[in-house]
Amino acid sequence: MSMDGKLYVITGCTAVGKTDYAINFAIKNNAEIVSCDSSLVYKHMDIGTAKPKPVDRRGIEHHCMDLVEPSEKFDVSMFIEAAQIAIDSIVSSRKNVVVVGGSGFYLKSFYRPVIDGIKIPRNVSDLVNSIYAKSGLDGLVPMLISANDGICPPIDTKNPRRVMSALKRCLACGRTFDDVQSNFISLDSPFKQYQKYTILLERDREDLKLRIWERTKKMLCMGLIDEVKFLLSNYDQLSDSAKNAIGYRETINWLKSSTTEGALIDEISQNTLKLVKKQKTWFKKQIPIDEKIILR
């Protein structure tokens, strides 16, 4: 366990000020930081992710950043493994652990199970993907019902991602969706052994809106466009997570257009605000908050 037996989790929506707050917290509490951000795991994606530079980390060790190339797949199971290794290392050095980030699924893994452990064989994945490509949901939903003893499982059958995931799991393990869910619910969180103290950082809406716009403008001044050009020229194909990260997706599309940099700033800022809205709703429903702090 860490020195006082807790994992300190500092979270909040994009651009709220998590990085500075966490570094100050770590300095005061003899801690190291475990990043919980699905974009910071990628090398060479620094400006658009607002990745803290070594000089800005003020001597605080940061973990779970720059783990893979932008072309590589990275998922929550890989994050859990990396975070466990990092936490073990921090604890063994008799320091406290501060988990920092706002990536919902990664963050959720500290409180409850997020993966069921079912391995999807390549042939099963290819089969489901092929059926969807040819027939869409009209081909998948009847197959899912058939795999569940003629009963439609309680999922959104208009959501292709959910239907495909459910069908792949049922076919892979030969069990119904209800059985898969029951087993999943009975699992423990990967970090069950740690007590958590969770701090949610918030700001006034107009203050946050201004910070997002200013941060986006700063990213372009720092060279976001050149960073995206570097990625596109040095990797044959970016992973879905990398190319769809906010700031990167918009810039990739912008490079194909004839609009101004001002239009790019506006688009990134607006999409960031949409993400903030989703994050706030998610925090309320998914994460047990011990303390809320309003930053000014």
Residue tagged 């992973």 (tokens): 239
| In contact, 12 and 201? CB cutoff 8 Å | yes
DSSP 68: B
Residue 82: in which H helix or E strand, if any?
helix 76-92
pLDDT for position 258: 87
Q: Compute CA 173 distance to the chain's CA centroid, rounded to the nearest angstrom.
A: 27
**pLDDT higher than threshold 50 for residue 54:** yes
Q: Tell me the pLDDT tens digit for each residue of 113-172.
A: 988 888 899 999 999 999 999 999 999 999 999 999 999 999 999 999 899 999 999 999
pLDDT for position 174: 93
pLDDT for position 1: 42
Q: Measured between alpha carbons, how far is 274 from 121 in angstroms, rounded to an integer?
A: 35
- Summarize the confidence of residues 196-220 as an average pLDDT: 97
Q: What angle do CA 132, 135, 137 make, to 5 degrees?
A: 65
DSSP 30: T
Contacts of residue 241, defined as CB under 8 A and 6 or more positions apart, other chains included, come to: 38, 39, 42, 73, 74
When pLDDT is cut at 50, 70 and 90, the band that residue 4 belongs to is low
- Summarize the confidence of residues 172-194 as an average pLDDT: 90
Q: What is the DSSP string of 269-284?
A: HHHHHHHHHHHHHHHH
**Strand ranges, E, within 66-142:** 96-100
Q: Measured between alpha carbons, how far is 36 from 11 in angstroms, rounded to an integer?
A: 9
The pTM assigned to this predicted structure is 0.88
**pLDDT higher than threshold 80 for residue 55:** yes
Q: Measured between alpha carbons, how far is 245 from 27 in angstroms, rounded to an integer?
A: 30
When pLDDT is cut at 50, 70 and 90, the band that residue 218 belongs to is very high
**pLDDT higher than threshold 70 for residue 275:** yes
When pLDDT is cut at 50, 70 and 90, the band that residue 215 belongs to is very high
- Summarize the confidence of residues 177-192 as an average pLDDT: 88
pLDDT for position 3: 55
**pLDDT higher than threshold 50 for residue 34:** yes
Q: Give just the sign of the alpha carbon dihedral 285, 286, 288, 293.
A: negative
Residue 72 is encoded by which pair of tokens?
A: 């590589």
Q: Measured between alpha carbons, how far is 265 from 220 in angstroms, rounded to an integer?
A: 8
Phi first, then psi: give them for residue 201, nearest 5 degrees.
Answer: -95, 135
**CA trace torsion 252, 257, 262, 267 (10° rounding):** -60
Q: Tell me the pLDDT tens digit for each residue of 73-95.
A: 999 999 999 999 999 999 999 99
Rounded to the nearest integer, the mean pLDDT of the chain is 94
When pLDDT is cut at 50, 70 and 90, the band that residue 5 belongs to is low
* Size (the chain), residues: 296
* Choice among 45-54, 108-117, 239-248, 262-271 with the minimum mean pLDDT: 108-117
Q: Measured between alpha carbons, how far is 144 from 137 in angstroms, rounded to an integer?
A: 10
pLDDT for position 184: 84
| In contact, 118 and 173? CB cutoff 8 Å | yes
